[in-house]
Amino acid sequence: MSKQCYYDVLGLARSASPEEVKGAYRKLAKEHHPDRNPGNNGADHKFKEINEAYEILKDPNRRAAYDRFGHAAFENGAGRGGPQGFDFASSFTDVFDDLFGEMMGGKRGRRHNRGSDLRYNMEITLEEAFRGKTTEIHVPTLVLCEGCGGSGAEHGTKPETCGACAGHGKVRASQGFFTIERTCPKCRGAGRVVRHPCRDCSGSGHTQKERTLSVDIPMGVEDGTRIRLSGEGQAGMNGGPPGDLYIFLSVQQHQIFQRDAQDLYCHVPVSFVTASLGGDVEVPTISGGRVKVTIPDGTQTGHQFKLRGKGMPVLKAHGHVGDLFVEVRVETPVKLSKRQKELLKAFEAEAHQGNQPETEGFFAKVKDFLGGKAN
């Protein structure tokens, strides 16, 4: 399935300013929020698309990567959480290295040595984000070759000291008054050269292997949370340290709860009889339990009840938990029997002033408005 351009998704020109990106996102996200489009699966999909586009375009680094490489910058090597989720042939790791190299204070000169960072996309449910979980992932990655211990030299031979740089990895050249030092072109900074390459790894010193890693997903993670597994990325070159593995989490939409940071929202249908007379309704909670909410008589549709501490835990803020907001939706009954209709007509006949203050207030305003106009 081909993906739509992120700029098109948000209806923006490529030159759009950060404010324009934000504005377009807000407008579209409101319009296509699944809550506003119940029963419309297309809206759900569109909403995801809008969010995805915004995630990239709001971040200057990611936007720059997208401008350069398009969707490939974020997709390659990013199978949705599946064990086959990596693709070494892609340019992705390079891009990723660019993005993170500077953030983590990596110096340019070290880039040849330090292994690349890897990305692993994982999708979890809202319940899993609530509880946290420990899971295993399978990561195919470059590891030091067992045949040569990473030296790249065939068994029984050793890498030799590079003649061009005498093992320093750097060569100096004089230019006028200056002496310029640069990486040795012959050994590419390694200081050693391999005359008889290892057969297992063709002299690279690395082989590909699938590793199983145990990952702790802490409670309270959000869509877009990154988890860094230090040193679990690609093996380093020339004896350099390995890169890191980043787990990019996405949290699935829930069929009952909508999340806003640490708070949860849900709609609960209530019969017009319960709303009128008052009563108890049972409300599910994200922990898998039920809570009884007492609805007072005369409750209007749209009224919100706050259940303190029934929301999501806050990441890394031990014991901090958000709230659950339950919004009442009074349901109009359908498929009435003959008797029910009679009862409602009898009920209507008993109506008296003050029964429906909102209706009365509205028609008073209408009368005022139309009356004023006629004069």
Using an 8 Å Cβ cutoff, are 220 and 312 in contact? yes
- Is 200 an interacting residue with respect to Zn ion (CB under 5 A)? yes
- Is 197 an interacting residue with respect to Zn ion (CB under 5 A)? no
Q: How far is the CB of 197 from Zn ion (least distance, A)?
A: 8
Q: How far is the CB of 171 from Zn ion (least distance, A)?
A: 7
Q: Give the one residue of 118, 184, 251, 286 binding Zn ion; rule: CB under 5 A.
A: 184
- Is 237 an interacting residue with respect to Zn ion (CB under 5 A)? no
Q: How far is the CB of 141 from Zn ion (least distance, A)?
A: 16
Residues 153-182 that bind Zn ion (CB under 5 A): 162, 164-165
> Smaller CB distance to Zn ion: residue 99 or 190?
190
| Choices 39-47, 193-201, 307-315, 350-358 (CB under 5 A): range interacting with Zn ion | 193-201
Q: Is the dihedral of CA 249, 255, 260, 263 positive or negative?
A: negative
The single residue listed with the structure tokens 């995805």 is 52
Q: Give the one residue of 99, 187, 295, 330 binding Zn ion; rule: CB under 5 A.
A: 187
3-state secondary structure of 74: helix
267 φ, ψ to 5°? -105, 135
Q: How far is the CB of 113 from Zn ion (least distance, A)?
A: 14
> Smaller CB distance to Zn ion: residue 163 or 269?
163
Q: How far is the CB of 133 from Zn ion (least distance, A)?
A: 37
Q: How far is the CB of 139 from Zn ion (least distance, A)?
A: 21
- Is 201 an interacting residue with respect to Zn ion (CB under 5 A)? yes
Cα distances (angstroms) measured from residue 56 to each of 6, 104, 119, 232: 8, 20, 15, 25
| Choices 95-103, 198-206, 221-229, 300-308 (CB under 5 A): range interacting with Zn ion | 198-206
> Smaller CB distance to Zn ion: residue 124 or 162?
162
Using an 8 Å Cβ cutoff, are 196 and 159 in contact? no
| Choices 126-134, 186-194, 221-229, 277-285 (CB under 5 A): range interacting with Zn ion | 186-194
9 φ, ψ to 5°? -55, -40
Question: How far is Cα 292 from Cα 245, in angstroms, rounded to an integer?
Answer: 44
Using an 8 Å Cβ cutoff, are 279 and 150 in contact? no
Using an 8 Å Cβ cutoff, are 244 and 231 in contact? yes
Q: Give the one residue of 145, 245, 283, 321 binding Zn ion; rule: CB under 5 A.
A: 145
- Is 281 an interacting residue with respect to Zn ion (CB under 5 A)? no
Q: Give the one residue of 34, 79, 82, 147 binding Zn ion; rule: CB under 5 A.
A: 147
Among 243, 271, 282, 222, residue whose Cα is nearest residue 98: 243
Using an 8 Å Cβ cutoff, are 312 and 260 in contact? no
Among 13, 14, 9, residue whose Cα is nearest residue 49: 9
Give 32: exposed, middle or buried? Use CB within 10 Å, 0-12, 13-18, 19+.
buried
| Choices 49-57, 105-113, 200-208, 358-366 (CB under 5 A): range interacting with Zn ion | 200-208
> Smaller CB distance to Zn ion: residue 145 or 249?
145
Residues of the shown chain interacting with Zn ion in the complex, contacts defined by CB under 5 A: 145, 147-148, 162, 164-165, 184, 186-187, 198, 200-201
